[in-house]
Amino acid sequence: MPGAGSVIAANYIYNVAKPDGLTLGTLTPSIYMDQIIGRKEIQFDWAKFNWIGTPEQYDYVFIMRGDSPYKSIDDIRKATEPPKCGAPGTGSHFYQIPKLMEETLAAKFFIVTGYQGATDVDLAIERGEMHCRTVTVTAYFGREPFLTWGKNGFVRPLVQTGRKRGPHCPKSQPSMSS
């Protein structure tokens, strides 16, 4: 159930699905921030969900189109026009990682929200409408379109979150502890 960084799915599970244990969901963990800041779109109480667990803990990699003028965080800081990043909503890592970089690295981004899901952000990047997005390290190094994008230089990683640099991330790029 795509949309708004899994807010639509969370609202559905909380308000529509029968609480009989037969409905499972995988929600973007960062949407709890939307509840904390009081966004009107949030129609669930994060603390009242019943959690089974998570299949993995993951870090993120922030990627930039290879043909963009933004080759480093310093380029982003100095840019007269900030790079455009696509995001489903403010509760997604697509939105929160660039916001974190604004707060911690003095970078500036123009974040466009409202995409239905990750595939729509990817298409916007391919069409040249967006310059950047955030993706899990696992997805970036494990599936399309990222495998092809990375191989042919269409995108390049600029920042990775986490306590340790991923084995495939370039050593010349900064890392942000999560």
Q: What is the DSSP letter of 5?
A: G
> Given this structure, which CATH class describes domain 60-176?
alpha beta
Tell me which residue of 63, 33, 76, 77 sits closest to 160, measured CA to CA: 63
% pLDDT > 90, the chain = 47
Q: Can you read off the two tokens belonging to residue 101?
A: 């970089």
pLDDT over 80 at 160, yes or no: yes
Q: What would the DSSP string read from start to end of 54-67?
A: -S----EEEEEETT
Average pLDDT over all residues of the chain: 86
More confident residue, 131 or 2: 131
Helices and strands per DSSP (H, E), number in the chain: 7, 6
